[in-house]
Homo-oligomer: A and B are copies of this chain.
Amino acid sequence: MEAGQSAPHINADRLLGHLEQLATFGRGPGGTNRVAYSEADRQARAQVIQWMQAAGLDVEIDAAANIVGRRPGREPDRPPLVIGSHIDTVPNGGNYDGTVGSLGAIEVAQTLHEQGIVLRHPLEVVIFQNEEGGLIGSRAWIGKLPPEELDHVSHSGKTIREGIRFLGGDPDRLDEVIRKPGDIAAYLELHIEQGPVLYEEQIDIGVVEGIVGIRWWRVTWEGTANHAGTTPMDRRRDALLAAARFIQAVNRIVTSEPGRQVGTVGQIEAYPGAPNVIPGRVVCSLELRDLDDAKIQRLYAAIEEEARAIAQESGVAVRFEPINVNKPAPTDPRVRDVIEAAAQDLGLSTKRMPSGAGHDAQDMAQLGPTGMIFIPSVDGISHSPKEYSRPEDIANGANVLLHALLRLDEAPWVR
A residues near B (Cβ < 8 Å) are 30-31, 90-93, 97, 132, 155, 193-197, 212, 214, 216, 224-235, 238, 240-241, 243-245, 247-248, 251, 254-255, 260-268, 270-280, 285-287, 289, 323, 355-358, 377, 380-384, 386
Contact = CB atoms under 8 A, between A and B. Distances in A.
B275 A229 contact: no
Given A268-B268, A381-B224, A384-B224, A194 B248 contact: no
Nearest to A268: B270
A225 to B, nearest CB: 4
Contacts of A238: 251, 264
Contacts of A355: 229-230
Number of copies: 2
Question: Helix, strand, loop or mixed for chain A's interface?
Answer: loop
A26 to B, nearest CB: 13
6 contacts: A194-B227, A195-B227, A232-B262, A233-B255, A264-B278, A278-B383
B251 A268 contact: no
B196 A272 contact: no
Given A228-B287, A274-B383, 7 more contacts: A30-B272, A226-B384, A228-B356, A241-B248, A244-B248, A248-B248, A275-B285
Contacts of A155: 274
A241 B247 contact: yes
A278 B251 contact: no
A238 B250 CA distance: 13
Given A244-B247, A247-B240, A230 B193 contact: yes
Contacts of A264: 228, 238, 275-278
B274 A262 contact: no
A300 to B, nearest CB: 14
B266 A92 contact: no
A2 to B, nearest CB: 40
A383 B245 contact: no
B195 A230 contact: yes
Contacts of A224: 381, 384, 386
A260 to B, nearest CB: 7
Given A225-B384, A226-B384, A357-B227, A266 B262 contact: no
Contacts of A260: 232
A240 B381 CA distance: 18
Contacts of A231: 195-196, 262, 356, 380
A392 to B, nearest CB: 21
A305 B356 CA distance: 36
Most buried by B among A277, A285, A357, A386: A277
Nearest to A195: B230
